[in-house]
Structure 1
Amino acid sequence: MVYLRTIRLLRETFPRTDHYPFSLPSLAGLEELEIQNSVTFFVGENGSGKSTLMEAIAYQCGFHTAGGSRHNSYDVDRSESSLGDYIQLSWLPKQTNGFFLRAESFYQFASHIDDTASTRGYGGRSLHEQSHGESFFSLFSHRFSGKGIYLLDEPEAALSPMRQLAFLYVMKDLVEEGAQFLIATHSPILMGFPGATILNFDASPAEEIRYEDTEHYQLTRRFLENRESFWSDF
């Protein structure tokens, strides 16, 4: 299911500045991104703008920008969405159920869940009583459900390769139930989800790229096939 159809940059409202994020090459000349599949990946180097745009989408969805849904409110500094007021989302139909995962601030979200005594929806155990990877997987398995939009910023941060594969199966089941995913990632395992759209933020402007053409796939493959050669220059 595709709820979020287009992400339009309101370029006419951009401030007259060459400062970040308005100076990002991935945004240069970009008018809008059309979302065509239930699973869309944002890929690119650190600083390419993929997480910045993901955060702006979360802001426009009304999700807590430190991580959470529309119903999560907790006393932690919300990340300032520098691009949030300069994009417009088009929906068909509008979807308000969902979640924004920020790997870097997940600890604060877990503390919020403990404080509200609402762990039942996360497998009945405190997220802090589980390993980092287990707590992520508890979120995916118990908090996510069909017919929602899920924005994930580097979910692989706490997942082993085996857990990443397991998460792909969780995603598959959720997509079949009506979920839509937008995921910023560096993981060639995750971005191998069948039929997904991959948007390359290393391009100017950001554009669709084939899985096999991503640097993540090519570099990982070269390393695995001949890792000795990577040390010859040291």
Structure 2
Amino acid sequence: MLPFITDIAALEYGGVAASWTQDVPAFQVLREKRVLDFRAPITVITGENGVGKSTLLEAIAVNAGFQATGGAYTGKFNPYENPLQTVAKAHTGKEPMKGYFLRAETYYNVAGRQGNEAPGWVNLHHMSHGESVMHIVQHAFVGKGLYLMDEPEAGLSFIRQMAILAELSLLAQNGSQIIIVTHSPVLMAIPGAEIWEFNTSGELHRGFELEATTGFRALRDFFEDPEGIAEYMVDVTRES
């Protein structure tokens, strides 16, 4: 296990879990393995909708002390009823935590809460969604720390995804730890990242090559025959 100084070394199952988490594939894995340790500066978590990727990231965030809705780590976390605080324990380093939790689901609300005082002293609502995400990465993801990202590709063009890939790679090279939940094969390609793929059967495939991921294979198949795949999906949907 990497001896991270300030970041997440592992997520350990424990406590009294809310009953609904027992049906979440990612938490079935956590319960079975007891500990999920982080061995690389960048961990990319992927898998189909519903396997619990974002919920697992939220568990990491709230147990590290971030607000569940996201935003910068301020050290002023006010605990509240969150069932994920009883599911697992985050093992962190000895130095004070710092970083940012970017969560697609609540990003609009966080931007509104910051108003004109978002990082860089701007109003994120005055930008497009993609522009504001890029702005956050460039102005809030600074210095060594823990950076958690839930589906940051939402609203980003293909080119902007590649730009964020480069920003995150440099951040990790300078000593930060990054954990990303994504469906984007572009972000899965970050150099040096360890890829985790959860499936609906409650299995974790760890250390996947990019080309072996479901997201990459689906995109490759589409590019090889876009018209054929489109027609096939329309026919399948019509029959169902």
TM-score of the two chains, using structure 1 as the length reference:
0.87
Task: Spell out structure 1 runs of 4+ moving beyond 4 A.
Answer: none
Contact 1:95 1:149 in 2 (8 A): no
Deviation of 1:207 after TM superposition, in Å, equals 3.2
Counterpart code for 1:160: S
> Which of 6, 14, 17 is residue 16 of structure 2 equivalent to?
14
Cα shift at 1:224: 0.4
What is the CA–CA distance in structure 2 between the aligned matches of 1:79 and 1:199, rounded to whole Å? 29
Which residue matches 1:53?
Answer: 56
- DSSP-derived class of the 1:20 partner: helix
CA contact (8 A) 1:188 1:216 kept: yes
Comparing 133-142 with 207-216, greater Cα deviation is found at 207-216
Sort the Cα spacing of 1:80 and 1:48 in 2 relative to 1 into closer, same or farther, 3 A: farther
Distance 1:146 1:183, change over 3 A: same
Q: Kindly state the Cα deviation for residue 94 of structure 1 after the two structures are TM-superposed.
A: 4.3
The worse-fitting range, judged by mean Cα deviation, of 132-141 and 20-29 is 20-29
Cα offset for 1:95? 4.8
How well do the aligned residues superpose, as a CA RMSD in angstroms? 2.3
Relative to structure 1, is the Cα distance of residues 45 and 82 closer, same or farther in structure 2, using a 3 angstrom cutoff? Answer: farther
Aligned position for 2:203: 205
The answer on whether the counterparts of 1:43 and 1:185 sit within 8 Å (CA) in structure 2 is yes
Query: What amino acid is aligned across from residue 92 of structure 1 in structure 2?
Result: G
Please give the alpha-carbon distance, in whole angstroms, between the structure 1 residues aligned to 2:105 and 2:231. Answer: 34
Q: Deviations 1:28-58 (Å, cap 9, x if unpaired)? A: 2231111111110111111101111100111
Change (3 A) 1:80 1:164: farther
> In structure 1, the residue corresponding to 2:100 is in which secondary structure?
strand
Deviation at 1:163, TM superposition (A): 0.2
Please name the residue that 1:5 is paired with: 9
For residue 161 of structure 1, what is the amino acid of its counterpart? F
> Structure 1: how far apart are the matches of 2:96 and 2:147?
10
Q: 1:103 to 1:181 in 2, by over 3 A?
A: same
Q: Following the alignment from structure 2 to structure 1, what is the Cα–Cα distance between the partners of residues 210 and 132?
A: 29
Q: Secondary structure at the match of 1:36?
A: coil
Encode CA deviations 1:45-77: one digit per residue, 9 max, x unaligned: 111011111001110111111111232879xxx
Partner of 1:27: 27
| 8 Å CA contact retained: 2:222, 2:229 | yes
In the alignment, is residue 174 of structure 1 matched against residue 171 of structure 2?
Answer: yes
- Given that 1:223 and 1:230 are in contact with CA atoms closer than 8 Å, whether structure 2 keeps it comes out as yes
CA distance in 2, matches of 1:207, 1:102: 24
Label 1:196 to 1:79 Cα distance change in 2 as closer, same or farther (>3 A): farther
Distance of aligned partners of 1:35 and 1:188 in 2 relative to their CA distance in 1, 3 Å threshold: same
Report the identity percentage. 34
TM-score, scaled relative to structure 2:
0.84
Q: Secondary structure at the match of 1:171?
A: helix
Letter in 2 for 1:228: E
DSSP 3-state at the match of 1:89: strand
Residue 207 of structure 1: SS of its match in structure 2? strand
Structure 2: segments with no counterpart, 5+ residues: 236-240
Residue correspondences, number: 223
